[in-house]
Amino acid sequence: MHGLVSAVDWHLVKTRIFDPNHAFAQALFRTVYIAIVSQVVGVGLGLASALFQMSRWRVLRVASYVYVLLIRGTPLIVQIFFMYYGANLLIGADLFPRDVNFGLFSLDGAIVAGMVALAVNEGAYMSEIIRAGIASIDRGQMEAAKSVGMPYGLAMRRIVLPQAARTIVPPLGNEFNGMIKNTSLLAFIGVYELFLDAEQGYSVTFKPVEYFIGVAFWYLVLTTIWSLIQVQIERKLGASDREEGEGWVQRILGIQAQGSRGAR
Amino acid sequence: MSADVDAIVTATDVDKYFGSNHVLRGVSLDVGKQEVVCIIGPSGSGKTTFLRCINHLERIDGGRIEVNGHLIGYRTKADGELVEDSERNIARQRTEIGFVFQRFNLWPHKTALENIIEAPVKVRKVSRAEAVAQGEALLVRVGLADKRNAYPNKLSGGQQQRVAIARALAMKPALMLFDEPTSALDPEMIGEVLEVMQELAADGMTMVVVSHEMGFAREAADRIVMMDDGVVVEQAAPSEFFTSPRHVRTQQFLSKIL
């Protein structure tokens, strides 16, 4: 026992956790913004897909079903590779060039391809969550909105979605928790984020345990911060009315237990 | 009947199917300006479905419905065929028609006042200040001035239904439709809702009411319409309707409920 524990270079672990270098700070920043952008876009895609699934037009319904089936039925890592390497071949154009210029700033093509892959993947899961949220709202709510002359879009935005948010936000929080961790998969297409930073460190030093304990710690920090934010959001929405007895510690532990879906 | 001269609602030969179930079999009904019409009949007779067709909450499969001279839910193509109208046009037509639901359907995430001003502000584009002033006046009218900031779950059924009536009135409709407005209420709350409806009728609102409240029908209605099995069986002024119903199905129905 003593031998095992002392085999770990605890000084290095401490450095990785409490005194990270500049490259690490950049990687951390990249992980955070990739997760946020992908999640926001994913929620948008999910909402569109959910509305398509409830549409009167068959074409839209079928398109949405196929999207959800394909994305949920294949591994995320395959989707990421496909987006980065495959899409260019398939379309015959350089969809994600080395640098993507957004006017004010430019991004590495791998980061853009990675965010697109994560967002498209997330959209399929959010689609189901949002659809279920909308379905949980009584039909009379939409009818009342229509009866005073609201068109569908306005009624959705003002009446149905604000109520559905209460059921959508808790699983959405778990999705974002998963998203933070899934950004690590982008290391495999060369995005320099937290996981790649750790991998490169260990490949030089041959001290995997130290580097991976360090990186695991930082993922834990990110997901814990998010859990705290989520509790606040849910409180604001009144979504936690039913669980008033639960303290924030249980909430965080509960969320962590459900949220750890890992790579899919 | 005066309805022909100055009709707010003109329904002609309305047909409606739910799957293979023929729920409306050629219903025709005219409602004149400021007239109060009560539709009664056994459950499953199609009266609620017919009411929902008037503001196109249900599509119709045959016939036509006009409100204030506008064809509801459909437009006529060049060749005379009817096709369903655009969503925007249907929404615009509905602003003319207030609808009160059996189960109130207030929006639970909004206060009483917010429920009332939502459509004036978002649909009619009335200024917020004006909508609030008008909303407060409506709350006074339904006797709930002190419930301005209450959420629906803090209101009794009768209070919720009165807010729902105020919400419908806020759009200044030419016609009010009531779908069994007191059926979901505890007995002691029925009176307060009927009172508001009676005042509305006295103020000259054109109303179509599906109801089992015979007291209201007798006092406030200008005409009673009896529906059974998807058709209008007979219609008459209340005095005549209750004392000498002509049709045997009306007699049977009245003998059961009176």
**Is the pLDDT at A220 greater than 70, yes or no?**
yes
Section B129-155 average pLDDT: 95
Section B200-213 average pLDDT: 94
Q: Is A240 on the interface with B (CB under 8 A)?
A: no
**Is the pLDDT at A206 greater than 60, yes or no?**
yes
Q: Do A163 and B107 touch (CB under 8 A)?
A: yes
Section B4-9 average pLDDT: 76
Section A140-158 average pLDDT: 96
**Is the pLDDT at B225 greater than 90, yes or no?**
yes
pLDDT, tens only, A167-187: 999 999 999 999 999 999 999
pLDDT bin (cut points 50, 70, 90) of residue B234 is very high
Section B166-178 average pLDDT: 96
Distance from CA of A171 to the nearest CA of B (A): 21
Alpha-carbon dihedral of residues A138, B107, B96, B225, nearest 10 degrees?
Answer: 60
Q: How far is CA A188 from CA A72, A85, A118, A122, A178, in A?
A: 20, 12, 13, 19, 18
Q: How far is CA A40 from CA A35, A59, A216, in A?
A: 9, 26, 24
Question: What is the predicted pLDDT for the residue at A5?
Answer: 64
Question: What is the predicted pLDDT for the residue at A247?
Answer: 53
**Is the pLDDT at A251 greater than 70, yes or no?**
no
Nearest chain A residue (CA) to B53: A147
**Is the pLDDT at B3 greater than 80, yes or no?**
no
8-state DSSP, B173: -
Q: Do B107 and A138 touch (CB under 8 A)?
A: no
Q: Do B108 and A163 touch (CB under 8 A)?
A: yes
Tell me which of A4-13, A142-151, A217-226, B147-156 is least confident. A4-13
B83: phi then psi, degrees, rounded to nearest 5: -125, 155
**Spatial separation of the C-alpha atoms in residues A135 and A127, rounded to whole Å:** 12
pTM of structure = 0.83
Distance from CA of B233 to the nearest CA of A (A): 28
Q: Which residues pair with A100 in a beta bridge?
A: A107
pLDDT bin (cut points 50, 70, 90) of residue A92 is low
Q: Is B135 on the interface with A (CB under 8 A)?
A: no
Q: Is A159 on the interface with B (CB under 8 A)?
A: yes
Tokens of B38: 């009560």
Picking from A68, A70, A102, A109, the residue whose alpha carbon sits closest to that of residue A87 is A109
pLDDT bin (cut points 50, 70, 90) of residue B2 is very low
Contact A224, A181 (CB under 8 A): no
Across chain A, mean pLDDT equals 84
Question: What is the predicted pLDDT for the residue at B256?
Answer: 85
pLDDT, tens only, A50-76: 999 999 899 999 999 999 999 999 999
**Is the pLDDT at A18 greater than 90, yes or no?**
no
Q: Which residues in chain B are closer than 8 Å to A150, comparing Cβ atoms?
A: 91, 119, 122-123
- Region for residue B41 given its phi and psi (left: phi exceeds 0; alpha: psi -120 to 50; beta: otherwise): left
Question: What is the predicted pLDDT for the residue at A248?
Answer: 54
**Spatial separation of the C-alpha atoms in residues B163 and B159, rounded to whole Å:** 6
**Is the pLDDT at A264 greater than 80, yes or no?**
no
Question: What is the predicted pLDDT for the residue at A91?
Answer: 65
Q: Which of residues 77-116 of B touch A (CB under 8 A)?
A: 87-88, 91-92, 94-95, 97-99, 101, 103, 105-109
Question: What is the predicted pLDDT for the residue at B83?
Answer: 87
Nearest chain A residue (CA) to B120: A148
**Is the pLDDT at A261 greater than 80, yes or no?**
no
pLDDT, tens only, B43-101: 889 999 999 999 999 999 999 999 998 899 998 888 878 888 988 999 999 999 999 99
Q: Which residues in chain B are closer than 8 Å to A154, comparing Cβ atoms?
A: 122-123
Q: Do A151 and B122 touch (CB under 8 A)?
A: no
Nearest chain B residue (CA) to A144: B105
**Is the pLDDT at A45 greater than 70, yes or no?**
yes
Tell me which of A14-23, B154-163, B198-207 is least confident. A14-23
The number of C-beta contacts closer than 8 angstroms across A and B is 64
Q: Which residues in chain A are closer than 8 Å to B99, comparing Cβ atoms?
A: 144, 147
**Spatial separation of the C-alpha atoms in residues B168 and B98, rounded to whole Å:** 5
Question: What is the predicted pLDDT for the residue at A106?
Answer: 67
**Is the pLDDT at B186 greater than 70, yes or no?**
yes
8-state DSSP, B4: G
pLDDT bin (cut points 50, 70, 90) of residue A250 is low
Question: What is the predicted pLDDT for the residue at A219?
Answer: 94
Q: Which residues in chain B are closer than 8 Å to A159, comparing Cβ atoms?
A: 107, 118
Distance from CA of A139 to the nearest CA of B (A): 9
